[in-house]
Amino acid sequence: MKGFFSNFKGDAFGGLTAGIVALPLALAFGVSSGLGPSAGLYGAIFISFFAALFGGTNTQISGPTAPMTAVSMLVIAGLIGANDGNVTQALPAILTVFLLAGLMQIGLGVVGIGKYIRYIPYPVVSGFMTAIGVMILVTQFLPALGYYPKEDETFVNEFIPQAEEVILDKILKDEAGEGILVLEDFKETIRRAEEISKEEIHLEAVALAGNASSGVMGSIKSLPAALQSIDFLELILCLVTILIIYGFKKITRAVPSTLVSLIVVSGVAYGFGLQYRPIEQIPSGFPMPNLSIFSEFSLWSIMPYFFTALSLSFLGAIDSLLTSVVADNMTKTKHNPNKELVGQGIGNSIAAIFGGIPGAGATIRTVVNINAGGKTRLSGMIAGILLLIILLALGPVASQIPAAVLAGILITVGIGVMDYKGLKAIPYMPRIEVAIMIIVLLLSVFWNLVFAVGIGLVLASLMFMKKMGDVTASESKVESLHGLENNVEKLWRDEINFPKELKEEIFIKHLNGPVFFGSTSELQQLANQIPETASHVILRMDRVPYMDQSGVYTLEEIILSLEQKGIKTHIVGIQKQPLYLAKSIDIVPDLIPDDCVFENFNSCIAYLKDIVEDVHEVV
């Protein structure tokens, strides 16, 4: 306990500073997610406290982040749409998906996945992060212009025919569930349809309009209507917020510019009685657990979102561990990646139960904490406690913040989260890596974040295997020693004194690097490349550390092909793992006897000198 409070003053100042920085971002991410500012604040409170308490990075400050919010936004929009636009009705399923993601994150830490996260290719991460920035930026255009599609009666009325179709479909499904034969008793259908009020049709049309205008494509389609009905007060509040965020940084970085812009613009708008649009009401009092997660649990409602929950858990893991690396570099310490994932998972799980959106380790907040003196996990816990105090004491005040101010904050977040380092490097990067980055970027923005990352990983893996295959093929040549003698650097040192009289009868195959399915096509050319003069082939496997199942089966086919031509195969220097595989499918000793497997080249040549007859004159 003494060590826990060993840096109390520094941790307190660091935690308070990080909490202040987190406040406007938490509110903004909550609004962006679709669940409202309170969900962002709840997420920041519980994730910050419990991820710090149980995590593996002492100085980490956690909470809602741009990538996590972008994926959460898709889950929320999808489930609200599936529940006829009713947020209250959709909330149990939404929070269940978030809870599942947190539990999965705990599982990732328990099984030790943390140490493998660093192997995700940079083009995939770069494309994804830039896509997140674009998505946040584009989806804030409408609130920045003061345009809300669900409140535009002209836009909503376009969906009335579709709303009537949806309502009629519900009636038909209800009748089918009750065993009513619609065609035989169509009067009942008409009676039920006549009971539907215009208000119900309008509410359905509003829900459909909200779905149609959500996300990147919805925002782009709604932009012409927004430009025709700009609310200039909202636009000015948004632009002033952006100017203060960027301008105040040039004056000082000691005070967070996002907080300054939030206080100044909100204070002026409220103080002068401007007719602006405030954010949603933030509930007062201590957050209460949403027990409907358990009482209204429905496996079928969340099954379509299982892989989305898994992607949220992986994304949170990547986001957090990248921040942990930054913290390590600044503090000269070393984090525990698996413990960090467990801590993040616990934080996200508890946040979901209390109605918060998921989050991860936040780089900017962590850097602020360290620079302010934070050194232990107490700093992250203090940041969470500060946000809770703000919620309890200033909830009604925070509810007066203009929505346009949070839109301005999110626009700067979107601009800042893009990977400009990767974008600037495009002219110098290999074309295939550029292609992967752009594919991930476009698919993330215009299709599906989860599938985009999966496709990017598959393409990056294929690219890596192709490169490995090319390297193996380029370094692994099949030539007679007679052909090699004029290019001495291709000979391995122990081959220089090879008997000249046997250079036409014995050919050597150098294998360099792993033999796996990416390199088998070149390996298969071996049997066709050996000229008719050869009676023996030596496979040099000294430099093959690994062989997969595809590689060993290809090797078996080659040896059988050589056997059919009357060519004997000998293996030199085979390592432990390839030898185990070769023995497991009986290449050794069925195809190649044990006495034809040699530890070194010299013992192999000594053996061959006694059995190989010089029948071809060296040209």
Predicted confidence (pLDDT) at residue 481 exceeds the cutoff of 50: no
Higher pLDDT, 614 or 539: 539
Q: What is the residue whose two structure tokens read 């999808």? A: 78
Alpha-carbon torsion 553, 555, 559, 562, what sign?
positive
Nearest-angstrom CA–CA distance, 228 and 209: 18
Confidence of residue 483 (pLDDT cuts 50, 70, 90): very low
Q: What is the residue whose two structure tokens read 């909330």? A: 91
Single out the residue of 80, 91, 128 nearest to residue 448, CA to CA.
128
- The burial of 286, by beta-carbon neighbours within 10 Å (0-12 exposed, 13-18 middle, 19 or more buried), is given as exposed
* Amino acid residing at 477: K
Q: What is the residue whose two structure tokens read 């040099």? A: 540
CB 226 within 8 Å of CB 142:
yes
Predicted confidence (pLDDT) at residue 530 exceeds the cutoff of 70: yes
Tokens of 149: 């599609």
Residues 6+ apart with CB under 8 A from 18: 61, 365, 366, 368, 369, 372, 374, 379, 380, 383
Calculate mean pLDDT across residues 422-444.
86
> H or E segment at 314?
helix 306-331
Nearest-angstrom CA–CA distance, 222 and 84: 20
Predicted confidence (pLDDT) at residue 525 exceeds the cutoff of 60: yes
Confidence of residue 485 (pLDDT cuts 50, 70, 90): very low
Max avg pLDDT among 39-53, 251-265, 581-595, 597-611:
39-53
Interval 103-139: pLDDT, tens: 999 999 999 887 777 677 878 888 888 888 898 899 8
Nearest-angstrom CA–CA distance, 366 and 369: 5
Interval 277-294: pLDDT, tens: 988 888 878 888 988 888
Higher pLDDT, 528 or 114: 114
Calculate mean pLDDT across residues 201-227.
86
Predicted confidence (pLDDT) at residue 339 exceeds the cutoff of 90: yes
Q: Please give the torsion angle defined by the CA atoms of residues 277, 282, 284 and 287, in that order, rounded to the nearest 10 degrees.
A: 180
Predicted confidence (pLDDT) at residue 486 exceeds the cutoff of 80: no
Nearest 5°: phi and psi at 565? -90, 0
Predicted confidence (pLDDT) at residue 546 exceeds the cutoff of 90: no
DSSP calls for 395-425 = HHHHTTSBHHHHHHHHHHHHHHHS-HHHHHT
Predicted confidence (pLDDT) at residue 87 exceeds the cutoff of 60: yes
Predicted confidence (pLDDT) at residue 8 exceeds the cutoff of 70: yes
* Amino acid residing at 53: L
Calculate mean pLDDT across residues 599-618.
81
Q: What is the per-residue pLDDT for 480?
A: 46
Residues 6+ apart with CB under 8 A from 532: none
Tokens of 96: 């269940």
Q: What is the per-residue pLDDT for 182?
A: 64
Predicted confidence (pLDDT) at residue 1 exceeds the cutoff of 80: no
Residues 556, 557, 562: CA angle, nearest 5 degrees: 100
Nearest-angstrom CA–CA distance, 412 and 341: 28
* Amino acid residing at 570: H
> Where is average pLDDT lowest: 16-20, 343-347, 474-478?
474-478
Tokens of 9: 């003053």
Nearest-angstrom CA–CA distance, 602 and 551: 26
Nearest 5°: phi and psi at 400? -90, 5
> Where is average pLDDT lowest: 187-196, 413-422, 426-435?
187-196
**β-pair type (536-543, 568-572):** parallel
Calculate mean pLDDT across residues 558-584.
88
pTM for the full model?
0.74
Q: How far is CA 439 from CA 27, 126, 215, in A?
A: 32, 11, 19
Q: How far is CA 184 from CA 100, 174, 180, in A?
A: 46, 15, 8
Max avg pLDDT among 228-232, 247-251, 258-262:
228-232
* Amino acid residing at 92: P
DSSP calls for 598-611 = ESSHHHHHHHHHHH
Higher pLDDT, 279 or 247: 247
Predicted confidence (pLDDT) at residue 482 exceeds the cutoff of 50: no
Query: pLDDT above 90 covers what percent of the chain?
Result: 23
Calculate mean pLDDT across residues 536-552.
85
Mean pLDDT estimate for the chain? 84
Residue 135: helix, strand or coil by DSSP? helix
> Where is average pLDDT lowest: 106-120, 179-193, 372-386, 596-610?
179-193
Q: What is the per-residue pLDDT for 4?
A: 61
Nearest-angstrom CA–CA distance, 369 and 361: 12
Q: What is the per-residue pLDDT for 489?
A: 41
Interval 376-410: pLDDT, tens: 999 999 999 999 998 888 888 888 889 999 899 88
Query: For the chain, give me the number of helices (H) and strands (E)?
Result: 29, 7
Confidence of residue 33 (pLDDT cuts 50, 70, 90): confident
Q: Which regions of 338-445 does DSSP assign to beta strands (E)?
A: 360-361
Predicted confidence (pLDDT) at residue 612 exceeds the cutoff of 50: yes
Tokens of 420: 């400009």
For the chain, the maximum distance between any two Cα atoms, rounded to a whole number of angstroms, is: 105
545: preceding bond cis by omega (within 30 degrees): no
Confidence of residue 610 (pLDDT cuts 50, 70, 90): confident
For residue 485, count other CB atoms closer than 10 A to its CB: 16
Calculate mean pLDDT across residues 95-104.
94
Beta partners for residue 63, in sequence order: 360
Predicted confidence (pLDDT) at residue 50 exceeds the cutoff of 90: yes
Higher pLDDT, 40 or 283: 40
